[in-house]
Structure 1
Amino acid sequence: MIPKFLKKRIFKAPVVSGNTPATEPSDTPQIDGSPIVPTPYTNAPINQLYRKISGQMLDVAVKPKLLGELPEFDQDDQTLRFYVLQDYSRSNSILIDLQTQEHKLPPALVGVNDSAHNIKENAAIIFLHHPHAKENQLSPRLSRLVSAVLQYPELKVRLVPVSILWGRAPEKEDSLFKLLTADNWQDPSITKQLFNIGVMGRDTFIQFHPPQDLRTLINNSLQGDDDEPTDLNSVIFESTTLDTNASDATDSATENTIGVAPNYTVVAAADGNRELVRSLQQQLNIYLDKQRASMLGPDLSDRRNLVDKLVYSPAIKHAIEAEAAETGTSPREARLLAKSYANEMVNDYSHAIIRGFYKFLTWLWTQLYDGVEVHHFERVRELAADYELVYVPCHRSHVDYLLLSYVIYKRGLSIPYVAAGDNLDVPVLGPILRGAVAFYIRRSFRGNALYTAVLREYMHTLITRNTPIEYFIEGGRSRSGRLLPPKMGMLAMTVHSQLRQSNKPVVFIPTYIGYERIMEGGTYIGELKGKPKESESLLGLLKVGRKIERIFGNVHLSFGTPLHLTDFMAKFDVPENSLPADRTDTPLDDKASAMVDNIGVKVMQHINKAAVVTPVSLLSLVLLSAPKSALDEDICREQIALYQGLAQQLPYSSDTVVTDMSPQQIIDYGIKLKLIERIPHILGDIIQIAGKQAALLSYFRNNILHVFILLSFLAALVARNGRIERSRLDNIAMQLYPFLQSELFLYYPAHGLADTLNKKVDSLIAHGLIVELGDGMLSVPEANSRCYQQLQVLATPVEQSLERYFMTLALLAQQGSGNLTENEVVDLCHLLGQRLSVLYADDIPDFFDRALFTSFLGALTRLDYLQKDAETGILTFDQRINDIAHHAKYVLRPEMMQILHQVASLNEEEIAHAITEISNKKQRKFGRKR
């Protein structure tokens, strides 16, 4: 508690009018001929003592957390800097002063004197509001600075908006808690003062926003008021003095204690200037309001009221009427059904659960991981105030949504509501997740119009209330480590909502999540091999808990380049507000549907662009490409260094992050994680993959395969042919690139592919992996040389993709056009891949990932190599299928092509038996749920 005697008014100096003579008339500063009259001011020792004691007391009780980056200031000593806060309070003043001292920023509670421009302020803080101020009262200090900037063209003033949060619970109307925590420290609110310090002191957050140039703000404001831009230097304002009574409420209150009050009255503007200051003050208020909202988010905690609002909204009323008419039930029964759907999905936000989760996860991550590395987060913070954020991360583990929410909350933004499958709504865990981040949706609801309407309306409610949202566009967790083809349902609902009504423009945040070990690794391999998926349960959660003692290395979150929905709307000529606001069942037209598909692909491409090349993924890529998954340690170091050099010198994307560990550190790190092992040998130690870890390491290799796939493809074309014409190499690469692009979501556009290929070939030549012979011929290095061995290792990763393509094409060619449906081809290729993997490929799961075959057939259909009957799904094709297969001989070894032909050779009886067994298995696995 602050001692009472320190609150007495030490120097209650009267605020004098503009006509009061100055103490030294000869030194009286003027603006446009009107005097600035200083009031007597002394930096009294007792005032400084008060600041010091108050600061020491506050420093003990309050441990603020700094959000975001510190502001960067230029080295111009002539620039004046002021901190802008929304609300006056003594606590805020002292807290800002302590933070500026700690972070070596320009001090907040030290006078700002600039005699050349007649500025003499006794503190560098501007308060936009004061509890004692009259309605629409302007900030006197801001008014004086505006007047000075208008008079002196060379004067530079920077304003640094600052947000302070005492606690981060979303505000509610009529809340006793809000009343108690209102941060106004003026007498006699000692209770509020003590509550904030005692209860919220350890949960206080401060963010310094980027400095704003006052002259630029003024200029923008003047340009906004008139059609013609106004030159600041040509504006003449008639100056008058501030009304003493008007300023006393704001200034004298602060003067009494901490000395924040100005020590002189200054000319205020006439009506034109007053409007300018009011406009600037409003802009600053709006900016800080948006920043606060981005940290706290809207209050959506009253679940019962939200469910009622959903059910009785015009859109759901219409859906209820349609459901009643279609099913022959009464509107009341349809309404009850709609309400049950809403209760099934709606989040039950609880700040207490959020805080509990935050503390638990802070402990958990320290137990599981060596560190949580975050990349490119500031680009999200910059958008949070003005956009509706939709996070679209890749889905690698059940940990994803907890980890992403934790990172966002820790860095001071409102956590998103996460669309979770209802398989997670299990006893104990389900309600906790619902109270924290989750709203639950069914895994399948095709054909259920009422459920679809309720979900769309709930999504629309969240979006229009500016609630951040998160959903996994892949639909489920990747079992192979590659991105899965995007599912467009949630994406289409987001677009549908924006076209019905838009409060803030939607921006998608592609997010890459990379692990160095995952808890579900063993389960994933089993599921890819055909084992049934284990249902989520509390028992399963407890089993996972046993793994906490294991070493999981680091985890990486990288936020990709944001994708603005308005940019796609302009590209596809989709107008705003083009759907009825009171309906959920209006279909998207062809343009909007094409736009959704394009957004889905771009999201996946941007997730891959933000990839993190970790030590584990590099090790996996190198060792899995080596014979028997082992290398001499010296060669292993060289190969790792080669991959690092290729990724750094010719980056996949500016968003891609490459580990800066040395090759030796990477090897030692892999041994520490027990993923690889060193085998001592008298001729040199050998590094090999640890027992039964190969299948799991393929998962981490696939996380970054897209970064190196074109280099691998080009290396394979040269390595398998010995020498090849550069033009021939380019032609084959362009023919097969669309399939690699579809599988790995490569972002290189086809129209610029030739330039990309040339740069990568030149890079391989520069590293000595390819030799340029002249006359357009490319060759391998000298046999058995170090570069030759490196080329062979680099050529290996692309082979598995091409082997899958060739096997699929061989199956199609053998069975003939018009005999199999797309689903049958995918199922048969899945079975063939399982068999091939066990017999010939060390059980690596890439051969039996169903999604990869789906992706390949989708690319063949999109490029018109395959035609699919809309009703039956039967595939037809012509001779061009064989032409694609013909290119495989330039990359695949003849013995492997022979094996693939044999595996793909199935007679009619084998085909019929396999399809029957697959169909029976699917019927047992999937039940229809309304």
Structure 2
Amino acid sequence: MLKYLGLDRPFLLLARKLLFSVVRTHVLSDSPSNLGLDPTRPVVYVLQRRFLSNILVLDREVSAAGLKSPLDGLAANGVRENRAFFFTSRGEPWFGRSNKAGYSPRLQRLSEAVRNHPDFDVQLVPVTILWGRTPDKESSIWKLIFSESWSPRGPLQQFFTILLHGRQTLVRFGQPVSLKELTHDAEDSERAVRKVARVLRVHFRQQREMAIGPDLSHRRTQVEGILETESVKAAIAALAKENGGGYTAEQKAQEKARRYAWEIAADYSYPVVRVFHRFLTWVWTRLYDGVELSNFDTVTGMAPDHEVVYVPCHRSHIDYLLLSYIVYQQGLMIPHIAAGANLNLPIVGGILRRGGAFFLRRSFKGNPLYGAVFNEYLHMVIARGNPIEYFVEGGRSRTGRLLQPRPGMLAMTVQSYLRDSNRPIVFIPVYIGYEKLFEGRSYVGELMGKPKQKESLFNLILSIRELKKNFGKVHVNFGEPIKLAEVLSESHPDWKQEPPLDEQRPAWFTQSVRQLGQKIADGLNSAAVANPVNLVSLALLATPRHAMDEDQLVAQLDGYRKLLSAVPYAERAQLTAMDGRAMVEHCEKLRLIQRHPHALGDVMHFYPEDAVLCSYMRNNVLHCVALPALIACLFSRNASLSREQLGNLTRTVYPFLRAELFLRWQPEELDSALDAYLDALVQMGWLATSSGREGIYHAPNMNADEYAQLNLLGQAVRPALVRYFISLSVLTQQGSGTVSTDELEALCHLLAQRLSLLREFNAPEFFDRAIFRTFISTLKQAGLAGENEAGKLTFNGAVRSAAAESRYVLPPDVRQSVLHLTRLDRGTVEQALSRLAAKGKA
């Protein structure tokens, strides 16, 4: 080691000046001043690699935080040290071949002092410093030799690393650890030192793995390793046998498996990631006014000890680029991303693959060889500790609502964990909320019946023109971690004793995957961010002409903020800090709403082409107001209701709302949530209670502003209630055992589409078939409907009772319109279904 410790201050000042002429540091997580250090106990910092540059970086960051410099040493309880830091390595070779063995003399002296002085303790603060980041790859060692890696580095290599990567220096301060607590149970000083060194080595290894990932082999090695696994060999043999057997058939099957593996596997390249980072920094600056990040400490708290699976909601192609960018920016390794094979475009596919994407086909049903190869690749990625990312919804939401979780990737992840559960898996839901959507126009077209636009290089080039537009802010919120082991134990306590899975997956496995998907969906919704565009869309779309007096709109927005502040949807849910007036101004700047000047007060309304698009933004947070909106809907039709009536009516509708919007409350939690919202609405003046009649609630006077505000809140869920009434009316009109599930879904879709044309429910998502599919599925799960041997839907009297209760929530004219539309004879029904079938075939 250089004898810098004996040199005077002028040398260190000169060295610091030279170093920071080329170095820019980025402190991740907490700065030294926010670590909660005890001022009565001395602090000693721990560094991993023994370089003067590391000490100068440490000294600068500690001094910048207003704390005592580690170069000033420590003196306490008769213990003196001329420096308040030490290294876990004794020395660094010039060319990175080996480290000297042994422990830091300062650590040995401090451990002995702690053992000999009962009143003396030291706070150890491990500090990770990374000079550029990259995993090892056999194919590009000359490019990567001077980046941060797992191999030892000598002073000469460190010199070039500083020159090349000094501006990408990451610093992370770990939480302080008591040296006395670490060593109190050690039998002697030697064992105490070994224990501390072991704890510190584990910490630095975890921090390095979080930032640069585990060692990666070349892609070719990965592919060949996959072909050598037992499951892939068995699939190859099965395909060869199916094709007649023999050497030639086996060689063809093996080559096919190899092509599959090359088609799937990522080809992570750190230089490409660096280019991506710079490019995306420029893109976000052009597209957005900023990216607001919440609760990222969720990830940093889990990453050292867990295999992290990011499960974001899927609203846009921007999602996976944005999430990888944020993770990289926060100093962690970017995840390997499961991307659809439709994105494996010429040129683009290769770039995405080098950025960590691996590709999968939409379905491998009927192709056991592909399934075996993909399963083995995913298991390899998970077993190596690489974070991964995929979308449980399968595809992008076209309505703004969360889609039903797809079991495919979840099942394969659970299956991989059951094979090897040494490293626990944690799922991190990530809510991504936009103020304007990049693909908004195409979504509206698809909902209106246009075919889905295929991804192509040409369309990607055309999308460059969108960079001229302003898309507002993006909000990214990390939800509550979901530990896979806990989900399995909750669903099937004896899962560890179960035999290895075979092709026939047991019922407990399917149930566990379904429960995991539900928890992820709940976690995504619980991390929702109610931004200004969401709330303005919620208010304006509740009006017949999507227009409101400015002061009325401001009051409505302030009411929504007050309601969501009084009863937050979930602990991690976020709410804009803007008041109603600021929200209106913000949406004006985004050109989402426009002002119509008028002598009696300006009128705010959507641009004609944006009203339907804003229904998407409303739906992003519809679940946050669904329960109070249902209450409001009830009181817009009933002047007063008892608490018992409210509970009964809410319990009738709640299972369907919960299934459609993934509401977080279990049935047994509904009453407490209902009481909280009732109290909030009373406090706001949107409801009232009788002074002498406990448990009776009243709507405001119909001429009062509060009644108008309550009625607008209720409009948020009224389209959903109309859809439910359509489904129940069609089912009861046609009779038990008359129509199948598919036929009922198709009829409901047609009738909702027609009602939309007649009554201006002009958002295409009003007649989305997927919503009717969910409703019918919930009817079956609730035991209100079933299927007979012919595949026709049967139902009991409870369905008719549920349909009759619509009088409590729907205006008479709406009910009458629905009843009129649903009075169809069997001939009309069959004719409509045949036309729909012919259209589908075409």
Q: Same fold (TM over 0.5)?
A: yes
Q: Tell me if structure 2 keeps the 8 A contact 1:301–1:350.
A: no
- Give the aligned residue type for 1:142: L
Change (3 A) 1:169 1:10: closer
Q: Give the distance between the partners of 1:67 and 1:648, measured in 2 at CA.
A: 30
1:290 to 197, 206, 211: 206
Equivalent residue for 2:475?
A: 556
Q: Tell me if structure 2 keeps the 8 A contact 1:500–1:578.
A: no
2:122 to 141, 144, 157: 157
Q: Tell me if structure 1 keeps the 8 A contact 2:530–2:574.
A: yes
Q: Tell me if structure 2 keeps the 8 A contact 1:501–1:577.
A: no
Matches within 5 A, 1:441-452: 441-452=360-371
Q: Give the distance between the partners of 1:393 and 1:183, measured in 2 at CA.
A: 29
Q: Give the distance between the partners of 2:770 and 2:19, measured in 1 at CA.
A: 58
SS at match of 2:268: coil
Equivalent residue for 2:241?
A: 325
Q: Tell me if structure 1 keeps the 8 A contact 2:751–2:821.
A: yes
- Give the aligned residue type for 2:490: K
Q: Tell me if structure 1 keeps the 8 A contact 2:51–2:155.
A: no
User: Deviating runs (4+, > 6 A) in structure 1?
Assistant: 6-10, 182-187
Matches within 5 A, 1:187-198: 191-198=156-163
1:780 positional shift: 1.1
Say whether residues 1:806 and 2:725 are aligned partners.
yes
Q: Give the distance between the partners of 1:555 and 1:663, measured in 2 at CA.
A: 20
Change (3 A) 1:390 1:847: same
Out of 624-633 and 756-765, give the one that drifted further: 624-633
Q: Give the distance between the partners of 1:899 and 1:745, measured in 2 at CA.
A: 29
Q: Give the distance between the partners of 1:886 and 1:826, measured in 2 at CA.
A: 21
CA deviation map 1:44-101 (0-9, x unaligned)? xx51111111111111111122222224244743211111112211111111112222
- Give the aligned residue type for 1:480: T
SS at match of 2:604: strand
Say whether residues 1:126 and 2:89 are aligned partners.
no
SS at match of 2:172: strand
Q: Give the distance between the partners of 1:356 and 1:134, measured in 2 at CA.
A: 33
1:155 positional shift: 2.6
Matches within 5 A, 1:849-864: 849-864=768-783
- Give the aligned residue type for 1:359: R
Equivalent residue for 2:95?
A: none
Say whether residues 1:874 and 2:792 are aligned partners.
yes
SS at match of 1:61: coil
Q: Give the distance between the partners of 1:724 and 1:645, measured in 2 at CA.
A: 24
CA deviation map 1:618-651 (0-9, x unaligned)? 1011111123211111111111111001101111
Equivalent residue for 1:258?
A: none
Q: Tell me if structure 1 keeps the 8 A contact 2:89–2:100.
A: no
1:416 positional shift: 0.8
1:274 to 171, 183, 190: 190
1:216 to 175, 178, 181: 181
Query: Unaligned 5+ residue runs, structure 1?
Result: 1-5, 12-45, 226-236, 238-271, 925-930
Equivalent residue for 1:166?
A: 131
Say whether residues 1:67 and 2:28 are aligned partners.
yes
Q: Give the distance between the partners of 2:261 and 2:161, measured in 1 at CA.
A: 37
1:95 to 38, 57, 65: 57
Out of 178-187 and 455-464, give the one that drifted further: 178-187
SS at match of 1:895: helix
Say whether residues 1:366 and 2:326 are aligned partners.
no
Q: Give the distance between the partners of 1:579 and 1:97, measured in 2 at CA.
A: 54
1:913 positional shift: 3.8
Q: Give the distance between the partners of 1:922 and 1:95, measured in 2 at CA.
A: 66
SS at match of 1:628: coil
Say whether residues 1:302 and 2:218 are aligned partners.
yes
Q: Give the distance between the partners of 2:404 and 2:148, measured in 1 at CA.
A: 49
Equivalent residue for 2:378?
A: 459
- Give the aligned residue type for 2:80: K
Say whether residues 1:468 and 2:387 are aligned partners.
yes
Q: Tell me if structure 1 keeps the 8 A contact 2:135–2:150.
A: no
Q: Give the distance between the partners of 2:145 and 2:536, measured in 1 at CA.
A: 57
Q: Tell me if structure 2 keeps the 8 A contact 1:781–1:787.
A: yes
Equivalent residue for 1:592?
A: 509
Q: Give the distance between the partners of 1:865 and 1:209, measured in 2 at CA.
A: 56
2:231 to 315, 337, 342: 315
CA deviation map 1:574-632 (0-9, x unaligned)? 55666777xx8544322221111111011001100000010100101111112321111
Equivalent residue for 2:10?
A: 49
Equivalent residue for 2:172?
A: 207
Q: Tell me if structure 2 keeps the 8 A contact 1:821–1:873.
A: yes
Change (3 A) 1:103 1:706: same
Q: Give the distance between the partners of 2:668 and 2:151, measured in 1 at CA.
A: 64
Equivalent residue for 2:618?
A: 701
2:425 to 488, 506, 512: 506
1:831 positional shift: 2.6
Say whether residues 1:521 and 2:440 are aligned partners.
yes
Q: Give the distance between the partners of 2:99 and 2:362, measured in 1 at CA.
A: 56
Q: Give the distance between the partners of 1:499 and 1:56, measured in 2 at CA.
A: 54
Q: Give the distance between the partners of 1:291 and 1:75, measured in 2 at CA.
A: 21
1:299 positional shift: 3.8
Say whether residues 1:616 and 2:533 are aligned partners.
yes
Change (3 A) 1:73 1:576: same
Percent identity, please: 40
Q: Tell me if structure 2 keeps the 8 A contact 1:574–1:592.
A: no
Q: Tell me if structure 1 keeps the 8 A contact 2:133–2:148.
A: no
1:193 positional shift: 3.6
Query: Unaligned 5+ residue runs, structure 2?
Result: 93-97
SS at match of 2:44: strand
Equivalent residue for 1:107?
A: 69
1:147 to 85, 94, 112: 112
1:917 positional shift: 4.1
1:196 positional shift: 1.3
Out of 880-889 and 328-337, give the one that drifted further: 328-337
1:312 positional shift: 1.6
Q: Give the distance between the partners of 1:95 and 1:873, measured in 2 at CA.
A: 71
1:177 positional shift: 5.4
Q: Give the distance between the partners of 1:296 and 1:832, measured in 2 at CA.
A: 55
CA deviation map 1:78-133 (0-9, x unaligned)? 2111111122111111111122223334422221122xx22211122120112269
CA deviation map 1:831-865 (0-9, x unaligned)? 32222222212411231222211221121111111
Say whether residues 1:721 and 2:638 are aligned partners.
yes
Equivalent residue for 1:79?
A: 41
Out of 494-503 and 321-330, give the one that drifted further: 321-330
Say whether residues 1:607 and 2:607 are aligned partners.
no
> Who wins on radius of gyration, i.e. which is larger?
1
Say whether residues 1:410 and 2:329 are aligned partners.
yes
Q: Give the distance between the partners of 1:430 and 1:125, measured in 2 at CA.
A: 47
Tell me the matched-pair count.
Answer: 830
Q: Tell me if structure 1 keeps the 8 A contact 2:725–2:803.
A: yes
Q: Tell me if structure 2 keeps the 8 A contact 1:89–1:183.
A: no
SS at match of 1:543: helix
Q: Give the distance between the partners of 1:555 and 1:184, measured in 2 at CA.
A: 35
Change (3 A) 1:840 1:610: same
Out of 68-77 and 514-523, give the one that drifted further: 68-77
1:154 positional shift: 3.0
CA deviation map 1:360-384 (0-9, x unaligned)? 1000000000000111001111111
Matches within 5 A, 1:526-545: 526-545=445-464
SS at match of 2:181: helix
Matches within 5 A, 1:565-714: 565-575=484-494, 585-714=502-631
1:298 positional shift: 2.5
Change (3 A) 1:346 1:904: farther
1:503 positional shift: 3.3
CA deviation map 1:500-548 (0-9, x unaligned)? 1123100000110100001111111111121100100111112221111
Q: Give the distance between the partners of 1:862 and 1:454, measured in 2 at CA.
A: 36
Say whether residues 1:815 and 2:731 are aligned partners.
no
- Give the aligned residue type for 1:80: P
How big is the alpha-carbon RMSD for the aligned residues of Structure 1 and Structure 2?
A: 2.4
